[in-house]
Amino acid sequence: MPGHKGNVLYRNAFLDAVRIDYTELPQTGNLYKDCGPISESEALAAEYFGASKCAFLTGGSTQGIMAALSLVCRENEHIIVDRNCHRSVTNTCGLIGITPYYFYPEMLAGFSICRSVSEKEVLRSVENHPDAKAVVVTSPTYYGAAADLESIAKIVHSANMMLIVDEAHGAHFPAIGMKNAIQCGADLAVCSAHKTMPALTQGAYLLANESFSVSQIRRATSLFGTSSPSYLVMASLDLSRAYLCLGGGEKYRNIILKINEVKLKILKETKFRIPVFEKSDPCRLTVDTAISGLTGFFVAECLRNSYKIDCEMADRDHVIFIITCEDSEGKLELLCEAFLQISKKYENLKSAINTISIPKPVASMSIRKALFSKAESCILMESDGKIAAEPIAPYPPGIPVILPGERIDRLCIEYLLTQGYNKTEEVLVVQS
């Protein structure tokens, strides 16, 4: 393996790729054994991130979340989970048989998005659920809100629990001089290098403190990863770390200055708003469109059709952009000018700010039982009263509105329709 034997196919499209598309050989190493150049590269990444250990992931942060949960929790045990979590968290709970206790972050005043997790919410949760093995927090969020992880880590550890941080969108923090989750006291953290570092898709890191051995981490990651991990992805993880150490970090810090200019110009010269969190990712550009009378969906369509700009995500009230060291100042100027022109074109519209009540559906059966029950498709509009057999999670961002085992009600349906679900969208429900 691989079958191409290093020969070039498809008119040189993969010329450079095939030359490093290896398999497990003495000189290339093995991702799931502590040896060779992969281990050496992981050690360099651990040092860069300030972690005791680092494991390369070729299955994205999803693989890392699954491995992290399996390291701290067993069947029939409990964890405390930020409801703003990715669907990989709840899917893992179903696979392993973990029971999650949820808490809901508060809404950001004046906006229809959540703040990050607060210390008081974590404290209340650990006091209410002293049997939990770990607390799982998402920071930064898709919208750019970051938590005070140092304070949260102290609370979690004082309750003899472990802190797992889904830091999928924060892999770039060391490059811009911000502490990452591990440096703030997390026991395990997962970072998507392909989201905010120049790595190939599916490239991510699982970072751990001294509580875990290398053999434990390799066993957990191999359990949820392919036995044929991509050497291209692994090489890109190593190269991305090196790139940020050798000049890419400076590019990142410089682009933040331009991002701040763009934010100020949008605030001063358009009808749009920029949400401000207590702590945030300075590279995430989230623009509130509701104040202008336009939906995020409409603004995203304008950007795509008139300016050839694709946003990372749009919802009813926002458009979100992931900006990295590989974005130029010129691109940001074009984006800013697009917002100015759209705002001017629709300046006579009235504000359409409407608060959204986030539904809190009730569980009728365990996640595991729902995931593995016989299921049937059902049109969303006709699903009232039925039990979800899968996470109902608009993607992106992949945050479940309804979890497997929870009963769908009218509030859930109205929320999903408001957020942009097609009225004929089918969902998977437990067969009645």
DSSP category for residue 99: E
Task: Tell me if 85 sits within 8 A of 403, measured CB to CB.
Answer: no
Task: Tell me if 142 sits within 8 A of 396, measured CB to CB.
Answer: yes
Residue 324, token pair as written in the block? 């990295």
The answer, yes or no, to whether residue 182 has pLDDT greater than 90, is: yes
The answer, yes or no, to whether residue 396 has pLDDT greater than 70, is: no
As assigned by CATH, the class of the 250-345 domain is: alpha beta
Nearest-angstrom CA–CA distance, 259 and 247? 19
Q: What is the 3-state secondary structure (H, E, C) of 38-59?
A: HHHHHHHHHHHHCCCEEEEECC
Query: Domain spanning 367-430 has what CATH number?
Result: 3.90.105.10
15-244 CATH fold: Aspartate Aminotransferase; domain 2 (3.40.640)
Query: Average model confidence (pLDDT) for the chain?
Result: 92
Amino acid symbol at 231: Y
- Residue 419's SS3 state is coil
- Say whether pTM exceeds 0.85: yes
Question: Could you check whether 15-244 and 250-345 share the same CATH topology?
Answer: no
pLDDT at residue 66 in the model: 98
Name the CA radius of gyration of the chain, rounded: 22
Interval 265-320: pLDDT, tens: 999 999 999 999 999 999 999 999 998 999 999 999 999 999 999 999 998 899 99
Domain boundaries, the chain: 15-244, 250-345, 367-430
Does 86 or 14 have the greater pLDDT score? Answer: 86
The answer, yes or no, to whether residue 4 has pLDDT greater than 80, is: no
Interval 30-87: pLDDT, tens: 999 988 899 999 999 999 999 999 999 999 999 999 999 999 999 999 999 999 899 9
Q: Where does the pLDDT of residue 398 fall: very low under 50, low under 70, confident under 90, or very high at 90 and above?
A: low
Interval 412-429: pLDDT, tens: 998 888 777 666 688 999
Nearest-angstrom CA–CA distance, 80 and 57? 24
Residue 321, token pair as written in the block? 């952009």
Instruction: Give which of 156, 121, 175, 103 is closest to 324, Cα–Cα.
Output: 175
Q: Where does the pLDDT of residue 20 fall: very low under 50, low under 70, confident under 90, or very high at 90 and above?
A: confident
